[in-house]
Structure 1
């Protein structure tokens, strides 16, 4: 286990937790760039996701920012479809391409998102639109081994779903439940292939993201230049996405 990979996972967890995400897409990307078998990447990334967002979800719920009554239309379809996405075998080319463009989307969202507390006004939302959106995000999340918060957040801002802290709480819970569901699908798939034991050597990554996630939560709570943290996270995501997209292009062409 390269020590540099452990350090990068720690830093990723800290940065993502500080802006309300789990970091699954970047964990996957770092593993791809380190030559790890792509079939076990989603399982490792989803486990890390769960470790990072579990504490944040608890804190959001305790502070009253988690509005489950408004969030459930997204959840009821995303959970089963995240499991289904996790069950489906994909080629390495499709996996790297989907992951690279997912990261590009996430990085651009962080660069251009500038919503303040006063900007958000509640807006009514048809339940079927929320259900379809949640299902689509859940399926893609399970397929590539992420929690889906990077896709849900811009949708919620566009829909004027709630205030930023409520949206961060919603994304944290969404990531948690979809990571658990997607992980269940991924583990079943790995057991079918007889390769689940390949995950074991990467256990040092789990305590690294646990500590990093706690540090990120502290930074977020202390309001330590949140816009600066967002930009640093965006730079990390965009750099890794560019590396992955270039790799995907080399495979395709």
Structure 2
């Protein structure tokens, strides 16, 4: 990996981290999209995304905890099944002909999810049915471990759609959900004697810096709609590339 190539990759990861953290997400799908667009080997996608997601989600978790928005009642049934399933997904290694289409579909679904992004403050909320939450958590956890995404980008719209929590509460829960699933998936990955790519520490620094900047800018009410529309376009391009190449 040449220095100019690595420098451009670092700058892109920094920008992705800033944009995602400003709208309350860890950014795993954005990091995977970046690696795909830079033609990095698919084997590096999962460990790289999990490490970067872990750092950025950790920053978001601290911010939301300090702001008092976190709800353990809303998180626990999803996390109870997602964490072990994420570990299993991280442990498993899918062949390229399965992994690439799966990641492509996740990126396209993430793009569609972001293109429909809204900011609503629901006043009437209800707790999710525990059996449903356990099932959803298991599915999202397995998907998280297999692909390297944290699962929050899929959990948050479900919580909004079914009015299981308020916007800030959902953002806090999604951040912690991403954090614990990324940690479990990374542990599963390492447990299977797989390695982390040598360039990840540099990307981790860029992502952490971007997460801090994005969290600060997000609190200043940046134009979220324009940001997520641009992100959705990048994800769509990368997803289609993974499906076709």
TM-score by length of 2: 0.92
Q: Which residue of 2 aligns with 1:147?
A: 150
Work out whether residues 29 and 244 of structure 1, in 8 Å CA contact, stay in contact via their aligned partners in 2.
Answer: no
| Alignment map for 1:1-253 (pairs within 5 Å) | 1=1, 2=5, 3-117=7-121, 119-189=122-192, 191=193, 196=195, 199-247=197-245
* CA–CA separation in structure 1 for the residues paired with 2:183 and 2:72: 17
* CA–CA separation in structure 2 for the residues paired with 1:125 and 1:18: 27
Q: Which deviates more, 163-172 or 200-209?
A: 200-209
By how many angstroms is 1:8 displaced?
A: 1.1
Work out whether residues 86 and 142 of structure 2, in 8 Å CA contact, stay in contact via their aligned partners in 1.
Answer: yes
By how many angstroms is 1:104 displaced?
A: 1.2
By how many angstroms is 1:115 displaced?
A: 4.1
* Number of equivalenced pairs: 241
* CA–CA separation in structure 2 for the residues paired with 1:121 and 1:96: 41
Which deviations, in whole Å up to 9, do the C-alpha atoms of 1:170-198 show, x marking residues without a partner? 11110000000000011122x2xxx52x6
State the 4+ residue runs in structure 1 displaced beyond 6 angstroms.
none
Which deviations, in whole Å up to 9, do the C-alpha atoms of 1:102-140 show, x marking residues without a partner? 1111111121232421x4520242101000000100001
Work out whether residues 57 and 176 of structure 2, in 8 Å CA contact, stay in contact via their aligned partners in 1.
Answer: yes
TM-score by length of 1: 0.90
Q: Which deviates more, 108-117 or 89-98?
A: 108-117
Mark the runs of 5 or more structure 2 residues left unpaired by the alignment: none
Work out whether residues 107 and 237 of structure 1, in 8 Å CA contact, stay in contact via their aligned partners in 2.
Answer: yes
Work out whether residues 82 and 141 of structure 2, in 8 Å CA contact, stay in contact via their aligned partners in 1.
Answer: yes
* CA–CA separation in structure 2 for the residues paired with 1:40 and 1:230: 25
* CA–CA separation in structure 2 for the residues paired with 1:235 and 1:153: 20
Work out whether residues 52 and 209 of structure 1, in 8 Å CA contact, stay in contact via their aligned partners in 2.
Answer: yes
* CA–CA separation in structure 2 for the residues paired with 1:231 and 1:212: 19
Which deviations, in whole Å up to 9, do the C-alpha atoms of 1:132-154 show, x marking residues without a partner? 00010000110011111111112
Q: Which deviates more, 124-133 or 134-143?
A: 124-133
Mark the runs of 5 or more structure 1 residues left unpaired by the alignment: 248-253
* CA–CA separation in structure 1 for the residues paired with 2:185 and 2:31: 15
